[in-house]
Amino acid sequence: VAKTSLTSPPWPEVKLPDPVEEAKYHAEVVQKVNKMIATGQYGRLFAVVHFASKQWKITSEDLIMMDNVLEAECGDRIRMEKVLLVGADDFTLIGRPLLGKDLVRVEATVIEKTESWPKINMRFWKRHNYQRTKIIMNPQTVLRINTIEIFPCLS
Amino acid sequence: MVLLSAPRWLRSRLTDRFWRVQEVLKYARHFRGRKNRCYTLAIRSVRRAFVKSTKARREKKRFLRALWITRIEAASLEHGLKYPAFISNLLKSQVELNRKMIADLAIYEPKTFKSLAALAQRRRQEGFLAALGDGKEPEGIFSRIVHHY
């Protein structure tokens, strides 16, 4: 068959590495990271957490403010379970989409429950004598992230 | 003697006009020109300012998303990937980080972003290989060579 513009695909030809060798390499990397976590050779950990329908990039001693009410009293310790990503200087653990609960532990304390500053919602049509003003104050909660811990249970 | 209606010499006159005017002027104090001092000009500017801020609160979300997308595109081009390839392959590998997070990681955690780009690139290559299938060409109809004997 003659060669046309559609004989070969428009992307350059790709060769994937050998699966057996790749599996060995992956196992090596996982063991290394496990050892690093077990010996504690990481500095500051950061985590990406899904909380209050938003994603936050947090570290320890971090303040977070969300625009809604949390059903916990001030001073309660909270554990955030939906962790998407955890990273340190030398390694990152990416969840697909979430990381296991036995791998990461993120703790936070509720500090403050206030209302936001009065935001003004105004609708105005000119020459029609139509003017509506509404003052909205959303409830807000402030959390302090206490710790992020990881445990060496990778496989 | 009980009077059922008030006499005509009793008038109810506005006593707190000053505070009603100050309520509007306090929102106009940082404006430019006479509209930060004169009530008639100020009330017009303050109304427009409130309406604009209400509408802007809805558009801020669109604007920020476009900004994140621009930043992710720039960062992924540094690693040799285009934005649609990057995002689609990340989603296919079940990594559900939103654009705000990826943009923040690209700014503050460059090593993590590099690993995400490598993940997307690898998934892309696997997708190409899966699309090729067997690697055999289908038998053509118009490209069949006809022998005239």
**Segment B41-56, tens digit of pLDDT:** 999 999 999 999 999 9
Partners of A87 on chain B (C-beta within 8 Å) are 109, 112
CATH architecture of B60-132: Orthogonal Bundle (1.10)
| Range(s) of the domain holding residue A130 | 19-150
Order the strands of the A46-51 sheet from edge to edge: A54-58, A46-51, A83-87, A92-94
SS3 (DSSP) at B132: helix
From the list A155, A2, A141, A14, the residue with the least C-alpha distance to A65 is A141
SS3 (DSSP) at A60: coil
| Contact across the interface for B47 and A11, Cβ inside 8 Å | no
Out of A92, A120, A131, the one facing B115 most closely (by C-beta) is A92
- pLDDT category at A1 given cuts 50, 70, 90 is confident
**Residue A14 in domain:** no
> Is-contact B112 A87, C-beta < 8 A?
yes
pLDDT at B133: 74
- For the residues A60-83, what does the mean pLDDT come to? 92
SS3 (DSSP) at B24: helix
User: Which of the residues A120, A125, A126, A131 would you substitute to probe the B interface, choosing the one with the greatest number of B C-beta atoms within 10 Å?
Assistant: A120
- pLDDT category at B30 given cuts 50, 70, 90 is very high
Query: If you measure CA to CA, which chain B residue comes closest to A82?
Result: B96
Give how many domains chain A has, as a whole number: 1
**Segment B63-100, tens digit of pLDDT:** 999 999 999 999 999 999 999 999 999 999 999 899 88
* Length of chain B as a residue count: 149
For tokens 């005239």, the residue is B148
Q: Which helix (H) or strand (E) holds A106?
A: strand A104-115
pLDDT at B39: 96
Q: What is the rounded CA–CA span in Å between residue B51 and residue B45?
A: 10
pLDDT of residue A125 exceeding 90, the answer is: yes
> Is-contact A86 A131, C-beta < 8 A?
no
ipTM exceeding the 0.85 mark:
yes
pLDDT at B21: 96
**Residue A111 in domain:** yes
**Residue A137 in domain:** yes
- For the residues A82-100, what does the mean pLDDT come to? 91
From the list A95, A111, A96, A106, the residue with the least C-alpha distance to A144 is A111
pLDDT at B137: 63
**Residue A155 in domain:** no
**Residue A6 in domain:** no
pLDDT of residue B138 exceeding 70, the answer is: no
Domain with CATH 1.10.1900.20 in chain B: 60-132
- For the residues B23-27, what does the mean pLDDT come to? 96
**Residue A92 in domain:** yes
